[in-house]
Chain A
C-alpha cells in the first residue's frame, strides 16, 4: 500500500473495541504491521501496545494516527433546524453533554450531512474528554505525537468517493467493519446523508435477510426524508454470509460488489490518509503541531543562544579593544592637548612676527621721497635766464606737494610773457606735471598795469605761480 497524503511517515493504529492493530508507514510505504495478542484497554495498555508496535515494526517516525471504535464513543445522527454555526455549536454542546458516556466533561466533533424537509443533518461523535486525554498521554509517553484520532465512522464516508459515481448520485454503501454492519448513505462526492450501524444479536444482525431488510428500510427512509432516490447499492467486502450475491435476493434493486476487500489494515490506511483538519479529528491543533512547535522552539532557543553568544563575543571583543585603546586614547588626548597648547603658542608667535615684520616694513619702506630737493634741482634746469626766483616754497600736503613760486621777469613785457609762458609750460609738461592752481598772468598783468608796484626793482616785473605736484 502506498500513501499519497502529507503524512509520509506515520504509525497507523486501529483500536476497535480493544483490538489493537498497528501499521507502520515510512515515506509512504507500509513497512510492517503488528497486532496485539490480547485486548488493549486503558492508558497503560495502550502505551505498552504502542511501544511494542514501534519495536515490532521498527517504526522510525514520531507521529501516530489512531482510528478508534470504543464503547465510550457516542455516534449519533441528528436532524436539526437550520441555524447559525454559533447556535449549532451551542446546541450540539448541550446534546453532547446529554448523550455522553459516563460522567465528566465530553469532547465532541460533528460533520454536517445533507438534510431533508427543511432540516439539517448532523453526524455527532462524542467521547469523554478523559478518554481522549488518556490516548494522547499514552502516545506522548512513547514519544509519539498523535495527529489523528478518528472514530471508525469517519473513514466510511470517504470510501463512497472511491466508487466512481456522479457527484449528485446518492449511494448506499454496506460494509462490515470489526464485527459491525455499517450502512453509509452519501452522495457521489462523499457528502454524507447519514449512516447506520446494525446492532443487536450478531448472528441475527448480520444475516443476509436482516441486512437486505435494513437496506430496503434505508432506501425508503432516504426517499421519504430526503426525497431522493438511491441510485446504487454497494457491498464492500466479502465474507461468509456477507456478499452482494447473498444479500441480492432480499433487496429489490441491484446490488453491486466493490472490488475492494477491506481488512483492518485497509481502514488504518484510509484513516492515515484523512487530513488532520478533518471535522472528526479529536486531536487538538496544539497537540498535532507539537513537534513543529517544539522544533521551532528549539530553533528559537538556538537562535537566542547564538545571539547571546554573538552579543557576548562582540561585546567582549569591543570591550577588549576599547580597554586596549583606552590608554592610547588617553595618550592621544594628552597629545592633542599639548598640540593645541603648542599651536596656540605658535599662533601668538606668528602674530607677533607678522606684527613685527609689518612694523619694520613700514619704517624701512614707504619712505617719503625728498621730492622738494629734486624739484629744486629741476627748477635750476628749466628756469629761463630772464626770470629770477626770489621765493620757492614746496610743502607736503597729504599725498602731494604744494608748490609756490615768486620772482621777477625781464623789463620788456613781451619778453617776460614769453619767458613766463615757457617756464609754465615746462612746469606743466615736465616730469613733475605741476597742476597750476594760480597762474602767473593775474599778478603779472596787475603789476604790469599798475606800473609794477609790486616790483622791488622798478625795471623788472613780479610774477607769482602756484601749483600742485601729485
Chain B
C-alpha cells in the first residue's frame, strides 16, 4: 500500500498536473532557447555587418588611394604651381611687372604711363585671388606700323607669365598714325592683406 498523499500533492502529481507541468517546461524551454538564439543571432548578424562594413570601407579606401595618390596628386600639385606662377605675388612683383611692361612699351616706341585701380574680386569667387585693374596710356611719336607695335605689345601682355585679361582698348589717332592708346587690363594677383 502506498502512503496516502495530501490532496494538493495528489493534484500536482495527477496525470493532468504532470502533463501540464511537462507542457509548461517544454514551452518554457522553447521560449528560453528561442530568446537565447535570437539574442545570439543578433550578435552574429552585428558581427557580420561589421565585417561587411570593413570590407566595403577597405574597397572604398583602395579606390580613393588608387585614384588620388601618386601621379594624380603630382599632377594637381603641378597645376597648382603653374596657376600660382601666373599670379602677381605681391607688391614687389607688381612693380617688376609694371616696369617690364613699360620697358616693352618703350622698346616698341611707346611712351607709357599707368594707373592702378581698386582691386576687384576674382571671377567665380576664387579663394585668395583678386583682380588688379591697370590702365596703360601709351603715346609718343609713333611712326607707321604703330598698329603692329601695339598688337605686339598686347601679345606680350597676353602671353606673359602673369595672367592678364584685356578689358578695354581705346585708340585715337589720324590718318598718319596712332596718337594715344589706352589699354585697361585686369591683372590676376594673390590676395594681399
Contacts and interface: CB of A to CB of B under 8 A. Distances in A.
A301 interface: yes
A363 B188 contact: yes
Interface in A88-131: none
Contacts of A368: 165-166
A108 B165 CA distance: 125
A329 B32 CA distance: 25
Interface string A276-291: 0000000000100000
A81 to B, nearest CB: 37
A372 B166 contact: yes
Given A308-B29, A322-B40, A359-B126, A336 B166 contact: no
Contacts of B168: 372, 393-396
Contact of B147 (A359, A362, A376, A390): A376
Interface in B42-65: 43-44, 46-47, 50-51, 53-54, 57-58, 60-61, 64-65
A357 B82 CA distance: 11
Chain B contact residues: helix, strand, loop or mixed: helix
A340 B60 CA distance: 10
A347 B64 CA distance: 8
A297 B84 CA distance: 91
A293 B19 CA distance: 10
Number of chain B interface residues as a range = 35 or more
B167 interface: yes
Interface stretch (B73-81, B91-99, B103-111): B73-81
A301 B23 CA distance: 10
A392 B165 CA distance: 19
Contacts of A328: 47
B57 A363 contact: no
B154 A350 contact: no
Interface in A34-82: none
Interface string A324-366: 0100110011011001101100110110010111011111101
A333 B129 CA distance: 45
A304 B29 CA distance: 9
Interface stretch (A164-172, A257-265, A310-318, A428-436): A310-318
Contacts of B61: 339, 342-343, 346
A307 interface: yes
B68 A377 contact: no
A380 interface: yes
Contact of A332 (B47, B82, B87): B47
Interface string B110-138: 00000000000001101101000000000
Given A308-B29, A336-B53, A297 B174 contact: no
A134 B62 CA distance: 88
A377 B151 contact: yes
A303 interface: yes
Contact of A360 (B72, B83, B175): B83
B12 interface: no
A391 B15 contact: no
B125 to A, nearest CB: 10
A343 to B, nearest CB: 6
A391 B172 CA distance: 4
Nearest to A456: B174
A459 B37 CA distance: 111
A17 to B, nearest CB: 25
B79 A396 contact: no
Contacts of A322: 40, 43-44
A286 B15 CA distance: 9
Contacts of B72: 353
A314 B34 CA distance: 11
15 contacts: A307-B26, A315-B36, A318-B37, A328-B47, A332-B54, A346-B61, A362-B123, A364-B86, A368-B166, A372-B166, A373-B154, A373-B166, A376-B147, A392-B170, A393-B170
Given A304-B29, A342-B61, 15 more contacts: A286-B15, A311-B33, A318-B44, A319-B40, A329-B50, A350-B64, A353-B72, A356-B79, A356-B80, A359-B80, A373-B155, A377-B147, A391-B171, A393-B169, A396-B165
Interface of B: 1, 15, 18-19, 22, 25-26, 29-30, 32-33, 36-37, 40, 43-44, 46-47, 50-51, 53-54, 57-58, 60-61, 64-65, 68, 72-73, 76, 79-80, 82-84, 86-87, 123-124, 126-127, 129, 147, 150-151, 154-155, 157-158, 163, 165-175, 188
The 3 A-B residue pairs whose C-beta atoms are closest, nearest first, are A373-B154, A339-B57, A360-B83
